[in-house]
Structure 1
């Protein structure tokens, strides 16, 4: 259960989880060719001999800070990242996406910046943008909203089903707070607890795209988790075994947010705390996987899988947190 600061900002993760469960229950009546349904990082459907993965996600209220700062292009990259990073977590190679841009009013420069960001992100992820939709909806949208739907192809599913005690947990460094927790961040800015002028460049950094490094080691890993909304509680999607993580010191922006009034434990339930992707790998393959990944990104050996259940985090302050 998340403590009060995020809920005070208008986001109740417990309520949201309840919505997800109810929606999953209702839509499951449509399944005929579904391999992975709602509740994982991406849905997977069998089409002939192919397993196609599909995911949709948006940028969230980060768009409001982008509009306020004028740094709009990064959220186009964010939108691609939030989708392709989830696709790779089921073993998919991302192929293509479509975008949806909703505007409060005509915004020529904003649309241009968004699309340039989408293109930059797509090239980094090696996906094609094959279409989309743009709408102007006064009274419905405040500023603009942005989302994408992406598809990929899966040779071998990665669901975490073969994760076992003794496996190593690796963490790939994030690019900052990525695209989650911005309702809470904006509340702290509005209350004068964080200076937007001082930290706007850091807050508008785009979500890191992990497609290239993860695809390079895909055949060697047992599971992958994109650390987004709900943060490290999302590891429960992959395994019910006990996970013990020793977290590295995060980037300064996380400390700024915490000092502004967010409880230490809540930070690890809302934000990625410097780790964008978590990978599970056997001890035998760990060194080889780490060497391949380090060509692209900083890699941390976070911990291990043990018999039992639950997630235990030793935070950068050396406090023990149980999720």
Structure 2
């Protein structure tokens, strides 16, 4: 199937194949690993302590930051993409290091990015303990950015105890977050999406979900950060069938769809207004909503069903699709 995302240069099926190849190779190194490749973060046990580790970047959103001459937002993004994956498995984020690769030395880029990383770190209440800056003119276009973060785990939240009848709760996103930008840039380049109309919205940083999740770790069974691959990421948590009824998305997603992305593909690429998903017993839902809503809007978006293998998504257009 040739999708708009594939036409842009990103083949999600091929990426999954690469992940599978990588996972099969690295398992031979496992000595301390208790949660390896395939979930939101890896976990090792060291002297009785469970330590989680994750690495991520902001993808080609850096090119839009360069276009706008604004770099602070992607610094926040980079923190969010790491700490959100840590907290998804129940790991409390502690610290991170950054890596900035530059086409040429730029104080404006570095200072802007670091300001954003510091802002995100303060929001997540973690330490920035160092980093690395490299200049690679023949490799990098503008700049690239990634972080590696660590957390500590008392109780893993991997979804092993998710059962039919459990309720699925969605925490709202802050817009597009930091994935799908290869497709969005294609729409911008082809003048199918207006940069002037959507610049501010597209540069909004990924919402950091650490504080709301810390409020409810004792009440949830699992959490899923919705990034690349969208709601298919929930397969990391359970193979039970999921029945999702998603709310009407923010205007930016409608604009992207109107620019020529098929409705079903939107739900395979973007978060569509739901950036974090929680799994919980029915009896805990009311308290979870009470604790999370002060941080960001939250609502019930579905349930876990008895059969296995399907994620059914009901969209705001009264359509449904299977992931």
Q: Tell me if TM exceeds 0.5.
A: yes
CA distance in 2, matches of 1:35, 1:265: 36
Equivalent residue, structure 2, for 1:319: 319
CA distance in 2, matches of 1:38, 1:311: 22
Equivalent residue, structure 2, for 1:262: 261
Equivalent residue, structure 2, for 1:188: 187
Q: Deviations over 1:142-173 (max 9, x none)?
A: 00000000000000000000001111000000
Q: Say whether 1:278 aligns with 2:277.
A: yes
Q: Say whether 1:239 aligns with 2:249.
A: no
Counterparts of 1:42-81 in structure 2 under 5 Å? 42-81=41-80
How far 1:72 moved relative to its partner? 1.1
Secondary structure in 1 matching 2:140: coil
Q: Say whether 1:165 aligns with 2:164.
A: yes
Instruction: Extract unaligned runs of 5+ from structure 1.
Output: none
Secondary structure in 1 matching 2:301: strand
**Residues 247 and 314, structure 1, Cα contact 8 Å, conserved in 2:** yes
CA distance in 2, matches of 1:225, 1:82: 12
How far 1:316 moved relative to its partner? 1.1
C-alpha RMSD of matched pairs (Å): 0.7
Secondary structure in 2 matching 1:219: coil
Q: Deviations over 1:156-197 (max 9, x none)?
A: 000000001111000000000000000000000000101111
CA distance in 2, matches of 1:246, 1:71: 36
TM-score normalised according to structure 1 size: 0.99
Equivalent residue, structure 1, for 2:24: 25
Q: Deviations over 1:54-87 (max 9, x none)?
A: 0000010000000101221100000000000000
**Residues 3 and 266, structure 1, Cα contact 8 Å, conserved in 2:** no
The 1:122/1:91 distance shift into structure 2, 3 A limit, reads: same
Q: Say whether 1:96 aligns with 2:95.
A: yes
Deviating beyond 6 angstroms after TM superposition, the runs of 4 or more aligned structure 1 residues are none
CA distance in 1, matches of 2:261, 2:84: 27
CA distance in 1, matches of 2:27, 2:59: 26
CA distance in 2, matches of 1:142, 1:197: 23
The 1:218/1:3 distance shift into structure 2, 3 A limit, reads: farther
CA distance in 2, matches of 1:149, 1:91: 17
**Residues 84 and 209, structure 1, Cα contact 8 Å, conserved in 2:** yes
